[in-house]
Amino acid sequence: MAVPTLDRWKIISTGSVIGTVRNHPAIADGDVITTSPIQDPNTASRQSTITTMSGSKYRLLEPRGEISPAAKEREAAALAAALAEADANDRRNNNYNAQPAQASALSSSTSEKKSNFFGGWGGPFKKAGEGVLVNGSSSGSSADDDETSEVRRKEILRSSPQWEEAARKYKLNGDTIGLEDEYLLASKPERSTSGKSNIWEAYKTDESTGLPKNNAYPVCMKISTNLEAISREYENYRKLSFLGIWETGRFVRCYEFFPVAGYDKRFRTQCALAMEKGSRDLKAFLNSKGKLENKELKDACVSATQCVQALHNAGLVWTDMKTENFVVMPSGAVKGIDLESAMPIGDYPVDYSPEACPPEFAKAFLEGDGPYFELGTSYDVWSLGMLMLELSTGRGYFDGKTPAQITKQLRDMDDEKMARDLDESFGECDERLRDLIRRCLQTDCRKRPNTAQILMHPYFLAGNPFAFLGMNI
């Protein structure tokens, strides 16, 4: 069988190779793929044959140019700061190493991922776990024995009056997550905004009873077959945790990651992420209010900006910042969620939302260079401007348009048209907020402010010089 070829290829920071594939037995000619990490990056050269960690072979054709020196410097500086902090925390906190190490091992040997129009470049996974294959088959009799005893234990528990009472109280459906039933699922799932995962309500179990803990508060359980995306999201939350409580306070807390979601056949092919649960997403909250105003608007804009700032401090670009990816907590605070598409500064995007991407990406996408677009922090600043516009007017700038229409309109965007649209959208609204949004939505990405400059803008400082710190005095 002929070895597949990769043209316009490049080695990225993970040790994988991205390029245009041909002669692949399962992927169409002309698709852009990212391989598993290759065994020896030093063997990668024009007309050479490489072998990936998963055993696949590719012949490399013409290489693509390297990341620009400026992009390399940005990435190196941002990642060096984050990694230095990570090393310091590693030395202080060795007790978390087992599970993250397992997650890293699973993430590092991913299968190739295929691009989809307006759907990112994610793909299917097959990965071995402890005695259980994630593709659905057992690796030995011990797994079968464990499953039999697990089923019997559940039968005994579910026949008790205590279970019936808990099931009514918490709306439990009988499904569990974790190889030892760490969480009980409740109600019915909803699809995530990306469409790649199911979002469940779940309750932490009491080890002694197998029932929800006393006064249990539900958590958000994100369950998916896309191991790569969910493990990347978990690692992104971990990177944020290295920055300290202040930064992570603007994102929901991530509790646990399960590379294999459970014994049940339904879940052994999936992974799961347990996170802090909000009352509802910011999009739904905005629709119920019409638009946000005054302190409520300013607080939401501060929270969103601080989320972006935390990611940039961790060396990441969000790439998917939108109202659906924030939740309103029972306290009324706004927190960020959904980091599965966040990538290192200077790296390439794995997914994108047309309504949140900037003009420079739309242009690259329509020219066929979307998979090779080098991510900078200005990407998120444009998204932040669009989010603040939606919060303050009650409608998205591109509402009613298809993804293709949005991308073409973005490509043709100019500052004069944006200024006219802002004047028409705002009417008598706060002039300072209009100025801030206009600065974020400049078509020249080099002119957009960074998050520190945004938080020091008069809109946030007016009447409260400590507003940029999230303080209310």
Q: State residue 241's pLDDT score.
A: 84
Give the rounded distance of the alpha carbon of 354 from its chain centre: 16
CB 432 within 8 A of CB 456: no
What is the pLDDT tens value at each position of the chain, 473 positions in all?
689 999 888 887 667 888 888 888 777 787 777 787 888 888 888 889 999 877 788 999 988 754 445 444 544 554 455 455 555 655 655 554 444 444 443 333 334 443 333 333 333 322 323 333 333 333 444 555 555 565 666 666 677 788 888 888 999 988 889 877 789 999 999 988 777 799 999 999 887 788 898 777 899 999 998 888 898 999 999 988 877 655 566 899 999 999 889 878 888 889 999 999 999 999 999 999 999 999 999 999 999 999 999 999 999 999 999 999 999 999 999 999 999 999 999 988 988 889 999 999 999 999 988 888 999 999 999 999 999 999 999 999 999 999 999 999 999 999 898 888 888 877 656 889 999 999 999 999 999 999 999 999 999 987 665 554 544 33
Q: State residue 342's pLDDT score.
A: 94
Write the pLDDT tens digit of every residue in 381-397.
999 999 999 999 999 99
Nearest in space to 233 (alpha carbons), one of 194, 262, 205: 194
- Identify the CATH number of the domain defined by range 280-469: 1.10.510.10
Q: State residue 90's pLDDT score.
A: 54
Residues of the chain with CATH 3.30.200: 141-275
| Residue 156 CA: distances (Å) to CA of 8, 162, 178 | 59, 11, 19
Residues of the chain with CATH 1.10.510.10: 280-469
Q: State residue 75's pLDDT score.
A: 44
CB 18 within 8 A of CB 60: no
Burial of 444 (0-12, 13-18, 19+ CB in 10 A): exposed
Rg (CA), the chain: 24
* Rounded CA separation 403/383 (Å): 16
Q: Which CATH number fits domain 141-275: 2.40.50, 3.30.420, 3.30.450, 3.30.200?
A: 3.30.200
